[in-house]
Amino acid sequence: MSIVSERLALFLLAVVAALAVLVAPWAAINRETGARSAVVLLPERVVDFTGRTDPVDLPAQGTVFVLTLVGLAGVGAGAAVRGRGRYLVWIAAGVVLVSGTLYGMNRFYAGVANARQQAFVNEVQRGLDNPRPTVDVAALEQVLAAAGERSLDENLAASADAGLVVRRLPYSNAGFGMSAFLALVVGLFAILFGLRWFPAASRAIDRLLRGAAVPAISILLALLAAAVVILALQPTPVGASVEIDGLFTYLVGRLDTLWYAYYSMFHDSLGTVNGFAESLKFSTPLIFTGLAVAFGFQAGLFNIGAPGQMVMGAIFAMLAGLYVPGPRLVVMPLAILAAALGGGLWGALPGWLKARFGANEVINTILLNFVAASVLLFILSSGNVFAAAAVRIIVVIGVFVALMIVLSLIRPVRALVARAPRVALAVGAVVLLGACIVAGLPQPGDTPVRLQMPFKVPGNEPKSQVLNAAAQLPQLPAMLGIQRAGVNLVSLDYGLLLAPVAALLALLLLPRWRAARPWSRRLPLALGVGALAYGVAWLLGWTSLPTAIPPTKLNLSFLLALLAAALVHVVLFRTRWGYELRAVGLSPRAAEYGGANIARNTVMAMAISGALAGLTATHYVLGGALEDYSLRQSIPTNDGFDGIAVALLGANQPVFIVASAFLFGVLKYGGSVLNITFPNLTREVVSMILALVVLFIAARGFLPQRLFDPRTWMGAESGPAKDDANQKRTTAAEEPT
């Protein structure tokens, strides 16, 4: 049984990819600033939107074209095959598609590299023909002679040493295009579905598809909706002399614009070390806020107050970082705890209001966001105020609060208040307000005083002073022993990265094999797999790869976020209290009957949720992610709202939250790349995508129910259900069993 009609899905994918091969760019040989491009379509058709790109000799296009079409035809034909034979057809077609596309990409990049090398040689030749005084002619001639044996980077460095800095080489942003990507995806899907030929793999794939269906489809729909916006906002960028004439050119231009928008959103993050580090940087606070929202959800509470809790955590962390003296070992943990405490208190307040008064936590957390924002603005701003009036108002409020506390301690008064009509209380509030206004009216003799907090920097800039060195969390490059990031290449051991991942994967997957289930066998086996992975990495030469370490602001906070995720997982799913909390979240009444203390759980859950949100300060304040190690008014509190999207996409499970936070980090960094790359697009496209993801996940009811409802697919695994229309449709698409 399959949860989707795999034959229909693959057939449609193959048709779409085939159409794309005909009209969508296969690759771009040149992308200028302003996103103008020159694109290649298979076979050997070039559409130039820049108007000044020289054609490049790209080998093997005809071969790749034929391989792609054959592969796609194979996938389509496989869908028509009845019986299990189709799986074998799909595997074969998929392998043809994937290898053909990869071969084509390889040839493409080789061709572009050749062209760049040639352009370099031309530049050097030109430099030799009219040498400038700074150029060392003899050295440059040597460079030219040896150019063929060296890589382009080495050549550039050598020519720079000889006094000729070659700045602008063409084809620098060459990359593959939409149709190549689609062919690759269809090929991978064909192989994936083809693997269902093996019964064990079939079950695993079904499970994977079920788990991933709702989030994947939600993201896909959000990206499709964003595509409409991108196309509407961004006309095809063309050079001055280029006119778009004809439907074909128009179509190619539109498809390329769309593709390049997504390409620039994802490529830097996933394809470059710097972009990857930046994405991790963006995802760090999202892990914290995602965990914060998820922790609330698990306890049946909706914490929309993460932005406010972030601010309070940041303020507390800043105070600790400025005023706690001592060595690093003491101050740093204290500052981190302060961040958690600030957020925790700010979160506990609405929790207490709910537990004590039944006030809705959704509204209160939102109101507290506004309060926190004005508190932050207040302590980081300076200005003239009539201090005497302010003191009078504070005295009035203080007297009022003290009176309330005293009165509430007297039992008969408390009973009276409890029975008082709401009008009386409203009148009380109005009286308080009036008293404040009267107290605040200027009196003769009041003089304005300048208000400035001691921790604020002098001047108008809304930021605090820089924290003590002892409170600053180290940046990750510094932790790896790299002091001058971005300057030189560092030899990195990628085996050390690969081995633990492989070991962890083995640890998770080994239980599928019955004999390896007990820990006594599982652990050594997993360690062996890790060692094997390291060995393979060593054979491939990955244990010392020269890498340019980017000047990233990624810091210890990222590791703290991962630690927090692990802790939340353990607390929620491995402790008695976590069980109680989730029970309260599922059914408060039943949990109370079972002995859970609802009020205490509500306050505690909100406090921990707030503390998690407050820990974002480890990134933004203690980690120095915003320019320097200080509290700034520009602290991006919207991360608190994005945490809702992260938590929903991650199904409130810490492991998936880390993954979805990474995805959102990629999107956020991608948004800033988009902002730079396209003249008409803004990074806000990304926040729209995030909101749409939440919307589609919330409305997942519009997807066929069998995609997300366990009840239907459990039936599906044990055999075809007889009276379910959906099941019947699936069965009809399958071969008779």
Partner 1 sequence: MDTVLLLALVSSMLRATTPLLFAALGGLFSERSGVVNIALEGIILFGALAAAVTAQLIEAPAVAQAANARVWYAPWLGVLAAMAVGGLIGWVHAVISIRYKADQIISGTAINLMGIGIPAVILSGLYGNTATSTPIRNRLPSWELFGIDGLAFNPLVYLAFLLVPITWFVVFRTPFGLRLRSVGEHPEAADSLGINVFRMRYVGVVLSGVLAGLAGAYLSIGNVNQFVSEMAGGRGFIALAALIFGKWHPLGVFGATLLFGAFQATEVLLGGGRLLPPTLVQSLPYVLTMVVLAGFVGRSIAPKASGKPFEK
* Contact set with partner 1 (CB under 8 A): 229, 232-233, 302, 304, 353, 356-360, 362-364, 366-371, 373-375, 377-378, 381, 383-386, 389-390, 393, 422, 425-426, 429-430, 433, 436-437, 440-442, 451, 638, 641, 644-645, 648, 680-682, 684-688, 690-692, 694-695, 698-702
* Residue among 378 and 538 whose Cβ is closer to partner 1: 378
> Residue 39 — φ and ψ, nearest 5°?
-120, 160
CB 717 within 8 A of CB 737: no
CB 270 within 8 A of CB 276: yes
Helix H or strand E encompassing 704: none
- Give me the least distance between CB of 645 and partner 1, in Å please: 7
- Give me the least distance between CB of 251 and partner 1, in Å please: 22
> Residue 30 — φ and ψ, nearest 5°?
-145, 135
Helix H or strand E encompassing 381: none
175-176/45-48 β-pairing = unpaired
Cα 79 from Cα 90, distance rounded (Å): 8
Give whole-number Cα distances, 221 to 215, 218, 227, 452, 696, in Å.
10, 5, 10, 49, 8
**Total Cβ atoms within 10 A of residue 149:** 8
- Give me the least distance between CB of 365 and partner 1, in Å please: 10
* Residue among 5 and 687 whose Cβ is closer to partner 1: 687
Cα 45 from Cα 256, distance rounded (Å): 14
CB 215 within 8 A of CB 28: no
Q: Rg (Cα) of the chain, in Å, rounded? A: 31
* Residue among 75 and 649 whose Cβ is closer to partner 1: 649
* Residue among 418 and 515 whose Cβ is closer to partner 1: 418
Packing angle, helices 199-233 and 710-718, rounded to 10 = 140
Packing angle, helices 247-271 and 178-194, rounded to 10 = 60
* Residue among 444 and 736 whose Cβ is closer to partner 1: 444
Contacts by residues 208-214 (CB-CB < 8 Å, ≥ 24 positions apart): 209/3, 209/4, 210/3, 210/707, 210/708, 210/713, 213/3, 213/4, 213/703, 213/707, 213/708, 214/697, 214/700, 214/703, 214/707, 214/708
- Give me the least distance between CB of 367 and partner 1, in Å please: 4
Question: Residue 494 in 3-state DSSP?
Answer: coil
- Give me the least distance between CB of 635 and partner 1, in Å please: 15
* Residue among 354 and 619 whose Cβ is closer to partner 1: 354
- Give me the least distance between CB of 378 and partner 1, in Å please: 4
* Residue among 406 and 489 whose Cβ is closer to partner 1: 406
* E strands in 281-402: 383-386
- Give me the least distance between CB of 644 and partner 1, in Å please: 6
Cα of 443 vs its chain's centroid, Å? 55
Cα 707 from Cα 712, distance rounded (Å): 9
CB 52 within 8 A of CB 168: no
Question: Letter for the amino acid at 318?
Answer: M
- Give me the least distance between CB of 364 and partner 1, in Å please: 6
- Give me the least distance between CB of 235 and partner 1, in Å please: 11
- Give me the least distance between CB of 362 and partner 1, in Å please: 6
* Residue among 397 and 532 whose Cβ is closer to partner 1: 397
CB 576 within 8 A of CB 308: no
* Residue among 88 and 404 whose Cβ is closer to partner 1: 404
Contacts by residues 58-65 (CB-CB < 8 Å, ≥ 24 positions apart): 58/27, 58/29, 58/107, 58/108, 58/111, 58/112, 59/107, 59/110, 59/111, 60/103, 60/104, 60/107, 61/104, 61/107, 63/100, 63/103, 63/104, 64/100, 64/101, 64/103, 64/104, 64/107, 65/21
Cα 527 from Cα 506, distance rounded (Å): 9
- Give me the least distance between CB of 306 and partner 1, in Å please: 12
> Residue 666 — φ and ψ, nearest 5°?
-60, -45
- Give me the least distance between CB of 680 and partner 1, in Å please: 7
- Give me the least distance between CB of 405 and partner 1, in Å please: 14
- Give me the least distance between CB of 462 and partner 1, in Å please: 10
**What is the token pair recorded at 344?**
């925790």
Strand partners, 547: 490
Could you give the angle at the alpha carbon of 691 between the alpha carbons of 690 and 694, nearest 5°?
Answer: 90
- Give me the least distance between CB of 304 and partner 1, in Å please: 7
The answer to whether the bond into 325 is cis (omega within 30° of 0) is no
Cα 594 from Cα 586, distance rounded (Å): 13
Cα 114 from Cα 123, distance rounded (Å): 14
* Residue among 380 and 506 whose Cβ is closer to partner 1: 380
* Residue among 304 and 621 whose Cβ is closer to partner 1: 304
* Residue among 41 and 355 whose Cβ is closer to partner 1: 355
- Give me the least distance between CB of 381 and partner 1, in Å please: 6
- Give me the least distance between CB of 26 and partner 1, in Å please: 30
* Residue among 167 and 422 whose Cβ is closer to partner 1: 422
* Residue among 197 and 302 whose Cβ is closer to partner 1: 302
Cα 309 from Cα 627, distance rounded (Å): 22
* Residue among 166 and 436 whose Cβ is closer to partner 1: 436
* Residue among 136 and 592 whose Cβ is closer to partner 1: 592
Closest CA to 635 of 476, 474, 464, 470: 464
* Residue among 164 and 368 whose Cβ is closer to partner 1: 368
Contacts by residues 121-124 (CB-CB < 8 Å, ≥ 24 positions apart): 121/147, 123/164, 123/166, 123/169, 124/159, 124/164, 124/166
Closest CA to 288 of 624, 635, 564: 564
- Give me the least distance between CB of 266 and partner 1, in Å please: 19
* Residue among 15 and 390 whose Cβ is closer to partner 1: 390
